[in-house]
Structure 1
């Protein structure tokens, strides 16, 4: 199987991800580097170029994940698979992220109202 992904498919993957890394959620707009199309299940592990097996990925996440699908923990017997953006949700994987995003939104609203009121009054 070829690793080359057609340009039209790359664009569909980027649009589906809203131009954010599907692993760390970094927006491509905030990166100095171009993002990659990454195989969730690598070709060497039987993955394909199917749309559902491709993820939009920042260079750091792509580098650290590589072609691996999981890692050993503590006892060298237990394997934990890596986050899969097609199966897993950050909200259930890391529940504290929901609280963090909610707090940021709550804190941002009064500031937004203040800025809008000073613009209209000033």
Structure 2
């Protein structure tokens, strides 16, 4: 009989140790869960911050793209306007005509007579547009 009591007391002590070990593991798991929850919260805050920054950058890029498109649309007709203005301006026309004549082999005297340029203007155009 005393053997049965000894056996039961050892069994109770073993159960007590097992319960203690399980309780200690539960405490560790609770601490780990709390740490995990803190990390998850910090990551969520960081992700929200990054999302806000990304949205800010994207909206800025969209506005910049729209402004560039508007600038491109306003610059497109400018080349045609410049060409029309050059054709209307007699001084510009004479320089354009003189450059063409130099390309065809005209001398400075020819440029002075046909385009009404001064000697220095004719020489400058001659140097700029002479084929090498």
Name the TM-score class by shorter chain: under 0.3
Q: Which structure dedicates a bigger proportion of its chain to helix? A: 2
TM-score (norm 1): 0.26
The one of the two structures with greater contact order (alpha-carbon pairs below 8 A, sep at least 6) is 1
TM-score (norm 2): 0.24
Q: Which structure dedicates a bigger proportion of its chain to strand? A: 1
